[in-house]
Amino acid sequence: MKTILVTGGAGFIGSHLCEELAKNPENKVYSLDNYSTGSEANHVANVEYINGDTQDIQDHIKFSPDIVYHLGEYSRVEQSFDDIEKVWCFNKIGTFSVLQFCREHASKIVYAGSSTKFGDGGLGRRQSPYGWTKASNTELVENFGDWFNVPYSIVYFYNAYGPREIRNGKYATLIAIFAEKMKKGDKLTVVSPGEQKRNFTHVKDIVSGLILVGENGFGDEFGIGHPASFSVLDVAKIFGGEINMIPERRGNRMAADVVSDKTRALGWEPIHNLETYIDSLRSTGWES
């Protein structure tokens, strides 16, 4: 029996990870989530859900997990300028508390870094409060490994999409936003210049990579991203709606290199592609 804790387990990616982990009868799966962006609607079977902040992990978790998948951080670029206090609380204080917990319980941590770290030739790590906290946290995780022998893996997601994406509000993601606008007959808003490239990766491919790295990966640079890239303008054209260009926003990187060699060496390959997914949304009236 393996005991696994997923922080952010009621969120978009976290719920899919919990669902897949819980399919294995040898796993006992727990979620710790403060429901700032997660939802009870994302709860899945055979997972024990705990409501709380990661900064208080010692108060909420009274067992020793074999693995902690740490996904429970603030995870939006442009919005992080307005939410900097929340970013600091979730991404710095919370992650330090999780690392201390893993140190004390001899748990392996699988830390969800951010591919913004690699954006625009490395400049992405300082282009937003979100990007900086995530990039500096990867160094903190590495240091805990060196200083205190905390076993760790650091993964990097590239533009996750799929069922359970947030469709509305300030934390909604691009594919979900476009699907919702198509459903309502609204124009697709594209942030200028529109040529910013993204490597959209289906959430099930991300989860398969996460579990593989959790079981067999150690160290940094486990990228989980589809090799094909699309500009935001390309994506809008695939959806087929009328396009409305809006002004450029701070922190909006133009490109990021997919660093996935170490993950592929473990046997991971993406099996989903964006165009097929958009076609499936179209066939259901833009419902995911």
Q: With b meaning 16 or more CB within 10 Å and e meaning fewer, what string describes 225-245?
A: bbeebbbbbebbebbeeeeee
Report the pLDDT value the prediction gives residue 27, as an integer from 0 to 100: 98
Instruction: Supply φ then ψ for residue 33, to 5 degrees.
Output: -145, 140
Per the rule left: phi > 0, alpha: psi between -120 and 50, beta: everything else, 279 is: alpha
Pair of tokens at residue 122:
């490395």
Helices (H) and strands (E) in the chain, counts: 10, 13
Q: Which two tokens stand for residue 174?
A: 């691009």
Q: What is the pLDDT of residue 256?
A: 67
Taking the C-alpha atoms of residue 59 and residue 55, their distance in angstroms, rounded to an integer, is 9
Domain locations along the chain: 2-161+200-225+257-271
CATH superfamily of 2-161+200-225+257-271: NAD(P)-binding Rossmann-like Domain (3.40.50.720)
Where is pLDDT greater, at 94 or 251?
94
User: CA angle at residue 280 from 203 to 196, to 5 degrees?
Assistant: 60
- Asked if residue 251 has pLDDT above 80, the reply is no
pLDDT digits (tens, 9 = 90+) for 159-188: 999 999 999 888 899 999 999 999 999 999
